[in-house]
Amino acid sequence: MRHAVYAGSFDPLTLGHEDIIRRGAKVFDKLTIGIGINPDKIPLFSSAERLDLISEVLSDLENVKVVCFEGLAVEFVKQEKATVMLRGLRTLTDIESEFTLSLANRTLAPEIETVFLMASEKYSHISSSLIKQIGAMGKDNTEEQLKHFVPSPVIKLLINKLQK
């Protein structure tokens, strides 16, 4: 059984994340999505909101499970009894930081392998922080614009939070 963990902040889930999850679910027998809770950061979406949104968007994938975790991602992978950490790669900058992170993770847990999927061309420019900027600054057509970046269940909640 090939079991991978895809961990991240998902604040919020983007079309880029969704694409990696759908492709990862085909590569692995089981994929656990770990929503990382960092007590030092105030997220835009609560952990419960992120969990509900991801579960709703990916509800058609039977081999995908969503959970929240605190602490190091490698510890979470071990706890889940998975053997692979799945990551997405967008740009050259991602490659540099992800390489460093995977080396650190290998030192901490040599039995866990990091596997990278290259971002799809049409989503490689998307990040959660970019979406928050668009959501906060957009005018009347923000809802239409956000369709290019995030799954539809994320849109209304995002606009409510940012344009209050």
147 is catalytic: no
The only residue of 3, 30, 65, 90 in contact with ligand ADP, by rule CB under 6 A: 90
- How many other CB atoms are there within 10 angstroms of residue 25's CB atom? 21
Q: Would you give the binding string for ligand ADP spanning residues 5-44, x where CB under 6 A is met?
A: ---xxx---x-xx--x------------------------
Closest residue to ligand ADP: CB criterion = 16
Smaller CB distance to ligand ADP: residue 70 or 139? 70
- How many other CB atoms are there within 10 angstroms of residue 80's CB atom? 18
CB 62 within 8 A of CB 29: no
Q: Smallest distance, Å, CB 140 to ligand ADP? A: 26
In the chain the beta strands, taken as DSSP E runs, fall at: 3-8, 30-37, 64-70, 84-89, 113-118
Q: Among all residues, which ones are annotated catalytic?
A: 17, 41, 90, 128
